[in-house]
Structures are given as C-alpha cells and as structure tokens.
Amino acid sequence: MRFLDEDDDDPMLSVVNLIDLFLVIIGVLMVVIAQNPLNPFSEERVVVVENPGEDTMRITVKDGQELTRYESSGEMGEGQGARAGVTYRLDDGRMIYVPE
C-alpha cells in the first residue's frame, strides 16, 4: 500500500484544477448568452437606441451582417424641405405617422 502513504500536496495541482473549472464556467456562460432569445442582435434587422433624448444618444442599426452606428452631435438640425406628414401620439404611448 505504498501509494496511500505518499503525500502529494503540490499546490500547482489545485491551481490547474481551478483554471479548468473557470474555463468550463466561461464556456457555459458564452453558450447561454449566444442562445438567449432576448439578444437583440440575434435578429436579422434590429434598431437599438442608446440614451434616447440625451446629448450622447446613439442609434445602432443592424441590417443582415452590416452594422451602422449614428451618434448625436448635440446640435439642432436645420435645412430646407417640405412637410412630409403628421405624427400623432396615442393614449397608450404609441406614435402613428400619417403621410400627406
């Protein structure tokens, strides 16, 4: 019974086992995030608005594999043009656009 008498208290073995455990946990978390049905980038066409109404507002548009990001400069837009329609806000908060 010589193998029972040997003392293998190498601290590196514990560190290696912890690293393996963390790698497995990271792998599982990555799979969970990729399979999340609430992930907005899992859809084909998505528009994400960050900080709406603020000076730091950003709009990210995903159309297929193409990502386009628009950032607010904080300045008021101006220019010439014609009225294109009317927008109404309903009691439940939805917006309806009626073209002219």
Q: What is the pLDDT of residue 96?
A: 87
Q: What is the pLDDT of residue 24?
A: 95
Distances (CA, A) of 68 to 43, 59, 65, 73, 99: 15, 8, 10, 16, 26
Indicate the pairing of strand 85-89 with strand 95-99.
Answer: antiparallel
Q: What is the pLDDT of residue 5?
A: 55
The full 3-state SS of the chain, as one line of letters, equals: CHHHHCCCCCHHHHHHHHHHHHHHHHHHHHHHHHHCCCCHHHCCEEEEEECCCCCCCEEEEEECCEEEEEECCCCCCCCCCCCCEEEEECCCCCEEEEEC
CA gap 100, 98 in Å, rounded: 7
Q: What is the pLDDT of residue 3?
A: 56
Q: What is the pLDDT of residue 29?
A: 92
Q: What is the pLDDT of residue 27?
A: 95
| Predicted confidence pLDDT, tens digits, the chain (100 residues) | 555 556 666 777 777 788 899 999 999 999 888 887 667 666 788 888 888 878 888 999 888 888 899 887 767 777 888 888 899 999 998 888 888 8
pTM of the entire predicted model: 0.40
Q: What is the pLDDT of residue 83?
A: 84
